[in-house]
Amino acid sequence: MNQEKYAIVDIGSNTMRLVVYSRDKSGRLTEAENVKAVARLRSYLSASGRLEDEGIDILVETLQSFQEITRHHQLEEVKCVATAAIRQANNQQEILDRVAEETDFKVRILSEYEEAYYGYLAVVNSTPFSSGITVDIGGGSTELTLFEDRKLVYFHSFPFGALSLKEQFIKNDMPTPQELKTLRTFLSSQFQTLPWLKGKGLPLIGIGGSARNMAQIHQEFIEYPLAGIHQYKMTANDVKEIDSMLLSMDFQEVQRVEGLSKDRADIIIPAIEVFANLMGLIGTEVFALSRKGLRDGVFYEELTKDFELSVFPNVVEESFYELAIDYDINLTHAAQVSTNAMMILHELEKQGILNVTPKDEKFIRLGSAVYNLGTYIDAEASHQHTFYLLANRTIDGLLHKERLILALIASFKNKELFKRNTALYQEWFTKEEIAKYSLFGAIVKLAYSLNATKRNVIDWIGLELEGDALKFNIYCRGDWKPEQYQAEKQKKHLEKQLKKPIQLHFIEQE
């Protein structure tokens, strides 16, 4: 993985896609090109199991158009993987020979296990879920996995997908009530064959275009205020609501639904029926969308093969390392601010002023690490930029609400700006939560001021009560006057939150 560019071609049963990655300044590979073609190869599988000549022609022609792009990028080696449509074809060798003769690509046909495994790998390396059930519904197959403690436990591949379900059960563009009933009965009978699904209560994590489209429809439907769909959560009722909404429309109306790709309009309902059926069987209220899927799983395997470790030890830590590189964060300074903030937090806890949970510690630590990150764009408006960047950037390992909490803490300037930033999200939080995260912002702001010169002069922070006042004893090395000046200016924010006067007593460390 030392090359500057890397590409993968994903030959699916419904769509084919080419993704080109380029290496950024942090050393990781990010998407440079993402080209999609709706080939619907599954439609060209005959009753005898042969991929018909017309389907092979479409496959080859699409790959030839992709190779124009890979040649432009001077990519000599491109991973090219195929899933159910080619896997299920009984003339595989004929297909592989034609592709090898007429294109630059050599196709690797993924087994059912490999297809399921790569989806699992993408989810555990890019989401916060340590246990869950993944569903990747393609055009011609549906892969399910169960993972616990980030380890793959079970997998299964069903030989049906959104496109084949449409062809088998729905004669026209929209299902009749009887067709819908037959489809639901079929799905229920199929999923009941997997005893490891029933009553698990774990989150269902959707992978692939149909899951992504359902999440996009829901975001448009509720006028969702944040950017991004990776790690977006829906409830069982949300899924049923979108299903009912689409079923109440005619096909022309469905084609115009915001968030839905027009080429998926005729297959979105079978896909949503799969999600709804699975959620009922699993007994879960959580559907989460993973924008990372099979291609990313292949990519992660390639990326980590030299380390004999395919699962990242900590998803959030990987994401914050990327943030630090992207925004030129001084890691030594960030670590000191985080240490300062945690000392203040725990001293307040010792005095019985706060009750601190592990989640609270997590948000303080992460918020400290990226506090005032917006200075990378403009120092004068750094707090506004910090909030926007963190609230609207996908951070693997953080769900959307957690990302928003992080943005609120890391952008804290004063109570007034905090209120403006929370204005759009009043329904997301209780009053108690808003007060808590505002307090955390004030703690982090004070901690930041205690390393104003980035010299790491603070060794220890203690706290004692003097009447109604809080007296912080701050043990330092060297000249602390710049930090003292900044901290005296900024302590008012914490005083307002705690409704107590604060004294800062700087002490030279012997």
The model's pLDDT over 233-244, given as tens digits with 9 standing for 90+, comes to 999 999 999 999
pLDDT of residue 276: 98
- Whether residue 187 has pLDDT greater than 90: yes
Antiparallel, parallel or unpaired: β 29-38 and 108-109: unpaired
Q: How many CA atoms lie within 13 A of 317 on its CB side?
A: 4
- What pLDDT band is residue 301 in, cutting at 50, 70 and 90? confident
Residue 303 inside a domain? The answer is no
DSSP three-state, residue 350 = helix
Are 347 and 491 members of one domain?
yes
Percent residues over pLDDT 90 in the chain:
91
Task: Tell me whether residue 309 is in a domain.
Answer: no
DSSP codes joined into one string, 202-256: PPEEEESHHHHHHHHHHHHHTT--S---TT-EE-HHHHHHHHHHHHTS-HHHHHT
Averaged pLDDT, 399-425:
96
Per-residue model confidence (pLDDT) at position 305:
72
- What is the residue type of 142? T
Mean pLDDT of 267-275: 98
Copy the structure tokens of residue 315: 């998803």
In a domain, 312, yes or no: no
pLDDT band at 307 (very low <50, low <70, confident <90, very high): low
- pTM over the 0.75 mark: yes
Question: How does residue 26 score in pLDDT terms, banded at 50, 70 and 90?
Answer: low
Q: How many domains does the chain have?
A: 3
Q: Is residue 302 part of a domain?
A: no
Q: Is the pLDDT of residue 258 over 70?
A: yes
Chain centre distance of CA 32? 19
> Minimal CA–CA distance to 139: which of 287, 10, 19?
10
The pLDDT of residue 27 is 65
Reading the block at residue 227, the tokens are 């950017």
* Same-domain check for residues 97 and 120: no
pLDDT at 1 over 70: no
Is there a single domain that holds both residue 121 and residue 200? yes
By the 8 A CB rule, do 14 and 209 touch? yes
Phi and psi torsions of 167, nearest 5°: -65, -35
Per-residue model confidence (pLDDT) at position 309: 64
- The number of residues making up the chain comes to 510
Q: Assign residue 343 the CATH number of its domain.
A: 1.10.3210.10
Do the beta carbons of residue 477 and residue 459 sit within 8 Å? yes
Answer for the pair 287, 235: CB distance below 8 angstroms, yes or no. yes
Read off the amino acid at residue 232. Answer: Y
> Does a structural domain hold residue 465?
yes
Round to whole Å and give the CA distance between 506 and 172: 77
pLDDT tens track for 362-394: 999 999 999 999 999 999 999 999 999 999 999
| Phi, psi values for residue 5, rounded to 5° | -135, 150
- Domain boundary, last residue among 109, 142, 173: 109
9 contacts 79 by C-beta, under 8 angstroms: yes
Which three-class secondary structure state does DSSP give residue 325? helix
The C-alpha angle with vertex 68 and arms to 66 and 70, in degrees rounded to 5, equals 70
Q: Which of 109, 141, 162 is the last residue of a domain?
A: 109
Range of the domain at 177: 113-296
Would 162 be classed as within a structural domain?
yes
Question: Does residue 3 surpass a pLDDT of 70?
Answer: no
Q: What digits encode the pLDDT tens for the residues 192-228?
A: 999 999 999 999 999 999 999 999 999 999 999 999 9
Q: What is the mean pLDDT of residues 249-257?
A: 98
**Are both 344 and 441 inside the same structural domain?**
yes
| pLDDT tens by residue, 436-456 | 999 999 999 999 999 999 999
| 399 within domain boundaries | yes
**Given a cut of 90, is residue 308 above it in pLDDT?**
no
Task: Enumerate residues 6+ apart whose C-beta is below 8 A from 221.
Answer: 241, 242, 245, 258, 259
Average pLDDT, the chain: 95
- Per-residue pLDDT tens digits for 31-56: 889 999 999 999 999 999 999 999 99
> If pLDDT is split at 50, 70 and 90, which confidence band does 310 have?
confident
Q: Could you give the residue ranges of the DSSP H alpha helices within 327-399?
A: 331-350, 358-369, 382-391
